[in-house]
Amino acid sequence: MTTAERNKLPSRTLLRFAALGLLAAVAAGVALMQRGPDLTDLPVMAAAPIILPDGSALYVQRHEVTVAEWNKCVAQGACALKLRTRADQDPALTPATGLSYVDVQQYVKWINEVSGRSYRLPTAKEWNQMAQSVLPKVQDPIFTDPSLTWASAYLTEGLAPRALKPQGSFSTSPEGVVDLDGSVWEWTQECYAGVEDGIASDRCPAFFVGGEHVAAMSYLIRDPARGGCAVGTPPAHLGMRLVSDKPA
């Protein structure tokens, strides 16, 4: 072999760097394959589960989803609506509100994908079971005439302050679930079908929301004050809380 031919061959140093680069690429690929779910976004659940009438356990998020938690979903491109807070509000303590049913489904899908868990919205019955220890008792009607039932409801509802307050401003249930009696009504997965039954959730025009009184909202509504309440007095704010059938 001539000197010129030897000079065309790669040097040992170059071969060594190439081998190291290949090993680094393989190691990075293995790390990506072995990386598990992102546990930093796991919701904080209440200390104890809610025991339902059939004896099953329901694990409930301690607080409502906050603005800071919601905007993580936005930052990753999974939620479309970016939320903002006033200068005097802490995003980490302020409930995420102004959410439609479509919005909250985006968040549920995202949190399940990044966490590898199975979170969902509660049913209306589950929500009532969660909140029964902290909600005010149903008051006796002011008017006994059945034709004035609407007037009794109008005068006895609206006990909770309607201003949006930071988490922890209201009651805590014995299980450790906070603010179920607050000014945020929480979406459930239960369709308000009216006189019809068996409507698929992807075709449902309105869903029940959990709060101090029964209400159902159009699935597209973000601001109850602008209308869209299918039944009951319009809620103050629309937000969300996750539940799971399995412990964290």
Q: What is the pLDDT of residues 138-155, one digit of tens each?
A: 554 444 554 444 344 444
Strands 184-191 and 237-239: parallel
d(Cα 209, Cα 7) in Å, to the nearest integer?
77
pLDDT (0 to 100) of residue 201: 74
* CA distances in angstroms from 107 to 9, 66, 129, 156, listed in the order given: 57, 12, 24, 34
Q: How do beta strands 184-191 and 119-120 pair?
A: unpaired
From the list 235, 115, 243, 247, the residue with the least C-alpha distance to 183 is: 235
96 three-class SS = coil
- Condensed to tens digits (0 to 9), the pLDDT of residues 79-125 reads 999 999 999 999 999 999 999 999 999 999 999 999 999 999 999 99
Cross-strand bridge partners of residue 244: 59, 119
Amino acid making up residue 198:
G
Distance between CA 248 and CA 46 in Å, rounded?
Answer: 10
Task: Give Cα 165 to chain centroid, integer Å.
Answer: 18
Contact between 60 and 91 (Cβ < 8 Å): no
pTM, two decimal places: 0.77
pLDDT tens, residue by residue, 188-242: 999 987 545 667 777 899 999 999 887 899 999 999 887 666 566 778 999 999 9
Q: What is the pLDDT of residue 28?
A: 43
Strands (E) located in 111-167:
119-120
Helix 101-115 / helix 67-75 crossing angle, nearest 10 deg: 70
Among candidates 124, 122, 119, which has minimal Cα distance to 108?
119
Q: Which residues neighbour 82 within 8 Å (Cβ) at sequence distance 6 or greater? A: 71, 74
- On whether the CB atoms of residues 70 and 79 are closer than 8 A, the answer is yes
